[in-house]
Chains A and B, each alone.
Chain A
Amino acid sequence: MNLVTVQEQHLPGARLEDKFDVALSWGFDGIELRSAGEYQFAARLPELKLARSRGVVMPTACVEMSHFIGAFDAELRRDAVAQLQSQLSVMAEIGGFGVMTPASYGMFSRRLPPFVPPRSDQESHQVLVDALGTLGEHAVREGVELYLEPLNRYEDYLVNRLDEAADLIREVGSDGVRIVADTYHMNIEEADLAAALQHAAPYIGHVQASDSNRLEPGAGHIDWALFGATLQSIGYTRSVAFESRLSGLAEAVLPVSVALLRRYL
């Protein structure tokens, strides 16, 4: 039985404790936090600690920034690493598992003009290895994990599939870096969702659920039975976070969706 969590922006309520009560009433087990840049996440530490002391379950945080570790600009890359280090430390302080990040988002796509990125693949590779190495060390020191998220080809050109993320993790050689498998991106990039999860199984640290159309599970055409059976088969026992847009009002669609997912987890 995996914990099923939902991202905080879908939950009404002023305080995390209020949001948590709503999450529970809709059938979730906890909250996935959104961790903003400019050290805003660290600034939330008192709020997060209070929520933690009151029993709010917050195992993971999903980064919310405008630049990432694979940025073309060196200064932005440095800031992305610094922000993630801070966020990993925050998650360690509140007893969480880790923070996720893509290599880049919205920066460049090989499928859209001008098609050829302004940096060599070798350089891009080195940029990622360096950043993941630094963050992996930091995560291990803090006792948490960094989750690298492959995004689809239109949103990221650096890491699109689970096997690409697994190759990077093997190269970096740090137990502090794992993969977050997001079913929306996988539906676009993986030939076979089940086979991709099986092959990357030892490296998967977190899972995000979103349907083929980026709406909540059940609103698209992903095979959730296959998804659930595969997570059980690979021995994945951690949380599954809803990260999606919604097809209707949260209070109407999310309870139905989480019930659907639980049929298979």
Chain B
Amino acid sequence: MSASIIARAVAVLEGNWNRTHTLPATGLYPHQWSWDSAFIAMGLRHISARRAGQELDALLAGQWDDGRIPQIIFDPHRDADYSPGATFWRSSTIPGSPGEVETAGLIQPPNQAWAVWAVHASDPEESVRRNFLARAYPRLLAWHEYLRTRRDRRGSGLACIVHPWESGTDNSPLWDEALSRVSDQPKHRFERPDLLHTNSSERPSDREYGRYFWLAERYRDHDCDDVDSGYPFLIEDPLFNTLYAVSELALARIAQALGKDPQPHERRSREITDALGQLFSSRLGCLGAWDVVQDTLVDKATINGVLPLLLPTISHASELVATLEGPRFLGGGTLLPPSYDATAADLEPELYWRGPAWFNMAWLSIIALDTHGRAAEAARVSANLVRLAEENDFPEYVNPWTGSPHGTRRFSWTAALTLDTLKHKDRKLLG
């Protein structure tokens, strides 16, 4: 079985390759996405460390002068196929954007340094030959410096997202209250090309899209400068900051490999890890998000709030393990962890990030469980991840209880992370 699923996962990734990067899906997602590329590189490295390095090089080439790595680097030939596209963002008119490519102005979770390290470690000889780490390191430093200086909006030590899209978990219930304060009447008349590829019941609604566009317009119209004082959406997401801390640990490894001092990165990772403790909800046994505008905790249990378990030294680890293995996530008869609290009355098991299980979150859960000595549960989730990917042609997400597939198929990170799960069995954080 594993030989055939490896063959098919490789075929998906080779089919979705587009000269310098991998499309998340050839129809629904026709550009290069930041955190997708990092997840994809985790699998692509088992096919070709060179191609995985090229994937990340292409992503880092879209960096802005301020250090941000954009959410999307647009393929100019496919601009009508995704909304908002390059014509919405018009990034080349914004100071500090890269001259060579059109990008979104937003960002995505910082898993890129983690991916750079993983790609290097998979074939150090090829990495050295390509000068991969030496080229990536200054760009990753600038990226993390952007997060530290421009995105820590309340001085907590944690980075804020300024838009639900920046979380990668676009319509998670974590953003509902903050989003309800945002107008749903953008100036831009938006299209929904995503609905040509999937059922509308599995995607965010037009009303949500109106709010997404209004927020994106406001951010864009302030030149994406992060100093708009009345900006209504500033949230510290536990998963975004967890990946930030993991990536600081990866930067420490990268620095060491380059003969530089790893300690500043280890220190920074500890600071972020400690700061994440502020988001712990003892009522839920996991982390919530912090709404910086309202200065309150968004007290909802999502997969984002248990994945801080990726960090070996996270506080409340035993409560987090109990929550991940308990009825809210893996204890309620689920095959893979749902994106939202399985006991919540408003969970919707087939609607994007409001309940379905996603393969990247399952993959992160496996590592988190292994990191905290829960090998048996990690093995169960691994087996389900591989089986559901194989049975359903690498779906975007699944119903957590039945495993029925939803969203697009032949989805790149599903294939990549299936490959990594199969190839990389002795799993520890940072290999």
Q: Do residues B50 and A233 form an inter-chain contact, with CB atoms below 8 A?
A: no
Q: Taking the complex as formed, is B15 at the interface, i.e. its CB lies under 8 A from any CB of chain A?
A: yes
Which residues on the A side are within 8 Å of B160 (C-beta)? Answer: none
Task: Decide yes or no whether B297 CB sits under 8 A from chain A.
Answer: no
B6, B8, B10, B14: most-surrounded residue (chain A CB, <10 A): B14
A195 within 8 A of B: yes
Q: For the complex, what is the distance from the CA of A214 to the CA of B213, rounded to whole Å?
A: 53
Task: Tell me, in angstroms, the Cα distance from A232 to B49 when the chains sit together.
Answer: 16
Q: A residues within 8 A CB of B123?
A: 225
Does residue B51 face the partner (Cβ distance < 8 Å to A)? Answer: yes
Contact A223 B11 (CB under 8 A): no
Closest B residue to A197 by beta carbon equals B14
Range of interface residues on chain A?
10 to 19
Q: Are A223 and B17 in contact (CB under 8 A)?
A: no
Do B49 and A233 touch (CB < 8 A)? no
The reply on A81 being an interface residue by CB < 8 A is no
B48 within 8 A of A: yes
Task: Verify if A82 is at the interface (C-beta below 8 Å from B).
Answer: no
> Do A233 and B10 have beta carbons less than 8 Å apart?
yes
Contact call B14/A194, Cβ cutoff below 8 A: yes
Most buried by B among A191, A192, A195, A226: A226
- B17 CB contacts on chain A under 8 angstroms: 192, 194-195
Residues of chain B contacted by A230 (CB below 8 angstroms):
10, 14, 47
Taking the nearest CB of chain A, how far is it from the CB of B419, in angstroms? 10
* B419 to A, closest residue via Cβ: A229
A114 proximal to B (CB < 8 A): no
**Secondary structure type dominating chain B contacts:** helix
* Inter-subunit contact B47/A225 (CB<8 Å): yes
Q: Does B1 contact A (CB under 8 A)?
A: no
Q: In the complex, what distance in Å separates the CA atom of A194 from the CA atom of B6?
A: 15
Is B48's CB under 8 angstroms from A226's CB? yes
Tell me the complex Cα distance, A233–B15, Å.
12
CA distance A225 to B123 in the complex (A): 10
Quick check: is B345 within 8 A (CB to CB) of the other chain? Answer: no
B14 near A233 with CB under 8 A, answer yes
Chain A residues within 8 Å of B196, by CB: none
Give the distance in Å from the alpha carbon of A128 to the alpha carbon of B102 in the complex: 47
Q: Does A234 contact B (CB under 8 A)?
A: yes
Whether A233 and B11, one on each chain, are in contact in the complex, defined by CB atoms closer than 8 angstroms, is yes
Does A235 sit within 8 A of B, measured CB to CB? yes
Whether B11 contacts A229 by the Cβ 8 Å rule is no
A192-B17, A195-B15, A225-B123 known; A235 and B7 CB under 8 Å? yes
Q: Contact at B15–A225, with CB atoms within 8 Å?
A: no
Q: Quick one: closest B residue to A235, CB to CB?
A: B7
Complex contact A198–B7 (CB within 8 A): no
B125 vs chain A, min Cβ distance (A) = 11
B119 to chain A, nearest CB (A): 12
CB-defined contacts of B49 to chain A, threshold 8 Å? 225
Cα distance A230–B46 when bound, in Å?
Answer: 11
Question: Which B residue sits closest to A192, measured CB to CB?
Answer: B17
The answer to whether B10 and A229 touch across the interface, beta carbons within 8 angstroms, is: yes
Which B2-53 residues sit within 8 Å CB-CB of chain A? Answer: 3, 6-8, 10-11, 14-15, 17, 19, 46-51
Q: Separation in Å of the B22 CB from the closest CB of chain A?
A: 12
A232 CA / B8 CA spacing, docked (Å): 10
Residues 52-91 of B at the A interface (beta carbon under 8 Å): none
Contacts of B51 in A (CB 8 A): 223, 226
Query: What residue in chain B is nearest A229 (Cβ atoms)?
Result: B47
Q: Which of B313-370 contact A (CB under 8 A)?
A: none
Which residues does chain A contribute within 8 Å of B19, judged by CB atoms?
191-192
Complex Cα distance A198/B17, Å?
12
- Contact status A226-B50, CB under 8 Å: yes
For chain A residues 6-54, which have a beta carbon within 8 Å of chain B? none
Residue of A nearest to B7 (CB): A233
Near A by CB (< 8 A), chain B positions 370-389 give: none
How far is B126's CA from A223's CA once the two chains are assembled, in angstroms? 10
B135, chain A: closest CB distance, angstroms: 18
Give Cα A135–Cα B169 distance, bound, in whole angstroms: 58
Determine the chain A residues whose CB is within 8 A of the CB of B3 once the complex forms. Answer: 232
For B45, the closest partner residue in chain A by CB is A225
Query: Shortest beta-carbon distance, A196 to chain B, in Å?
Result: 10
Inter-chain contact A234/B7, CB cutoff 8 Å: yes
In the complex, what residues of A have CB within 8 A of residue B8's CB? Answer: 233
Given A192-B17, A194-B14, A195-B15, A226-B7 contact (CB < 8 Å): no
Q: Most chain-A Cβ atoms within 10 A of its Cβ — which of B6, B10, B46, B123?
A: B10
Residues of B within 8 A of A195 (CB): 14-15, 17
Rounded to whole Å, the gap between the CB of A204 and the closest CB of chain B is 14
* CB-defined contacts of B6 to chain A, threshold 8 Å: 232-233
Residue of A nearest to B4 (CB): A235
- The 7 tightest CB contacts between A and B, nearest first, are A233-B10, A226-B48, A229-B47, A225-B48, A194-B14, A233-B7, A223-B50
Residues of B near any A CB (own CB < 8 A): 3, 6-8, 10-11, 14-15, 17, 19, 46-51, 123, 126
Q: List 12 A-B contacts (CB under 8 A).
A: A192-B14, A195-B15, A195-B17, A198-B15, A225-B50, A226-B48, A226-B50, A229-B46, A229-B47, A230-B10, A232-B3, A233-B6
| Further contacts, 13 of them, CB under 8 A, given A198-B11, A230-B47, A232-B6 | A192-B17, A192-B19, A223-B50, A225-B47, A225-B126, A226-B47, A229-B10, A229-B46, A229-B48, A232-B3, A233-B7, A233-B8, A233-B14
Q: Interface on A for B, CB 8 Å cutoff?
A: 191-192, 194-195, 198, 223, 225-226, 229-230, 232-235
